[in-house]
Amino acid sequence: MPTDTKSVKVKKLSQWPIAGRFGPYGGRYAPEILMPALLALEAAYQAAQADEGFRAELRRYQEDYGGRPTPLYRAKRLSELVGGARIYLKREDLVHGGAHKFNNVMGQALLAQRMGKSRLIAETGAGQHGVATAMAGAVLGLKTEIYMGQVDIERQRANVYRMELLGAQVHPVHTGTATLKDAINEALRDWATSVQDSHYLIGSVVGPHPYPQIVRDFQRVIGDEIEGQMLRKEHRLPDLLVACVGGGSNAMGTFFPFVDHREVRFLGVEAGGRGPDADAASLQHGQIGVLHGAKMRLLQDEWGQVSATHSIAAGLDYPGVGPEHTLYQEIGRAEYVTVSDEQALSAFQTLSQTCGIIPALESAHAVYAGMERARAMGPGQLVVITLSGRGDKDLETVIAHLGRQRSAGGQEQ
C-alpha cells in the first residue's frame, strides 16, 4: 500500500484520507494480529456507505431514536452581551444521551450488526462514550462490555450505574495508572482474541485507519445540518465555526462538510487546564508521535512516554488529537487555541444565565473562545458554536469548584 502521500496530488482537502493517511498523519500502527480485523472493517464500511439501505436505517435511528436534526439556535442575548458577530449554537446537547457521541456510536453499532458481530467492546474514561455504547448495544440487542480504569470508576460512579442499568458489563482495569489509556490497552487485548464476534467501538477521530475516517463520517451530520440550517436562516454560509477538541470528533463533524469552502474559518478549542504544566492541549504543546495506532500530535516526554493530562472537562482530558486535526493545524486550515478551566467555568455560567442552557464543561470551552472571537468580528458576521453536550453530568464538579472560589474570596463557605 503506498504510504508516500507527498507524491499524491490532492485537489481538495475533503479527499483525505488517502491510503489511510491525512498528509503524513494517521496510518495504521497496529499489531499484526489486528490487521485482518482492520481490513475487514474498512471493507465493510465502504460497502455500508455505498448501501442506501444502511444509510436509511441509520437515518431512521438518528431521527426517531436520537432526536435529529438538532436545532441551530440563534443566541440573541448572548450575541447582544458580546457585541459583534451574530452567534448561533448547534444543539448537540439535545441528542439522545446528552452529547454528540450518539452520532458515531449508533453508526458503528449498526455497522457491527451488519458485519454479523454479536458483541461490542469499548473503553471509556469519564464514562460518556461507555454510556452511549451501552445505549446502542441495548437498542440493537448486542452484548456490550466496557473497559474502564479503576480510578475512573471511582470518579464516575453515576456513569458506571448508567452503563450497568443499560445492560452493559463494566470491566475495571487495574494496570498502569488505571485510567483511560490503560482501558484502551485492555480493550485492544480483548479485541485481539475476540475479533470473530466482536467490534471495537472507538469513540473519537483517533485510532488506526479506518477509525478516524469512520468516526468523522458519522459525525459530519453536525456540519451537514448546520449548512442547510444556515442557508435557510441567513441565506449564506457561516464565517466561523467553533468547537471543542478532545480527540476531535465533534469538531471534525462540525468542520468537515465545509473544508473545501476556504471562506469558512475553523476554530478548535483545546483544554488549557490550569496552565501549560497541567493541560490537555495536544496541538499547542505536543510533538508528533504514535498513539493508539495513529501518527498524530500528542503530549509526551522526551522518551516518547505519554504525559499525564489535566482538564476540568473529562471529555477533553486525552493526551492525543486526531490525525486530521494535526494536518489541518499544520497547513493552517484550522486554528487551535486553548481555554483554561477558569475561563470554561465562566462561560458555563454565562451561557446558563443568558440562554437558559447549561452546557457540558467541554462545550463551555468552545463557548468561551467563540464569544471572544465574536466580540472582535463585525455585526454582519456569523459564528456557529457547537454545543457538544449538556452539563447535567458536570454539576457536582462545577458546584465543588465555584464553592471553593467563593470561600477563597471570603464571601461564603
179 contributes a contact to ligand PLP by CB under 6 A: no
C-alpha cell at 86: 451574530
CB of 214 to ligand PLP, least distance (A): 13
State which of residues 21, 90, 101, 220 lies at the interface with ligand PLP (CB under 6 A).
Answer: 101
315 contributes a contact to ligand PLP by CB under 6 A: yes
How far is Cα 128 from Cα 205, in angstroms, rounded to an integer? Answer: 15
- Judged by CB under 6 A, the number of residues near ligand PLP is 18
254 contributes a contact to ligand PLP by CB under 6 A: no
- Phi, psi of 305, deg, nearest 5: -80, 135
Please list the residues that pair with 243 across neighbouring strands: 268
CB of 317 to ligand PLP, least distance (A): 9
389 contributes a contact to ligand PLP by CB under 6 A: yes
244 contributes a contact to ligand PLP by CB under 6 A: yes
State which of residues 37, 82, 99, 178 lies at the interface with ligand PLP (CB under 6 A).
Answer: 99
Nearest to 151 by CA among 128, 177, 181: 177
Pick 289 or 359: Cβ nearer ligand PLP: 359
Q: Per-residue contact track with ligand PLP, 203 to 222, x per CB under 6 A?
A: -x------------------
Interacting residues of 31 by C-beta distance below 8 A, sequence separation 6+: 188, 192
Give the angle 295-219-216 at the CA atoms, nearest 5°.
25
Q: Please give the residue whose beta carbon sits closest to ligand PLP in the complex.
A: 389
CA R_g for the chain: 20
319 contributes a contact to ligand PLP by CB under 6 A: no
DSSP one-letter code for 205: S
CB of 365 to ligand PLP, least distance (A): 9
- Please count the other Cβ atoms lying within 10 Å of the Cβ belonging to residue 228: 12
Pick 159 or 198: Cβ nearer ligand PLP: 159
Pick 85 or 360: Cβ nearer ligand PLP: 360
Dihedral sign of CA atoms 235, 240, 244, 250 in order: positive
Nearest to 269 by CA among 289, 283, 259: 283
CB of 295 to ligand PLP, least distance (A): 18
Helix or strand (DSSP H, E) at 145? strand 143-149
- Phi, psi of 312, deg, nearest 5: -65, -20
Restricting to residues 113-172, which ones interact with ligand PLP according to CB under 6 A?
A: 128
Pick 5 or 326: Cβ nearer ligand PLP: 326
Question: Which amino acids are annotated catalytic?
Answer: 101, 123, 388
Contact 70, 92 (CB under 8 A): yes
CB of 67 to ligand PLP, least distance (A): 15
List of residues contacting ligand PLP (CB under 6 A): 99, 101, 128, 204, 244-250, 315-316, 360, 362-363, 388-389
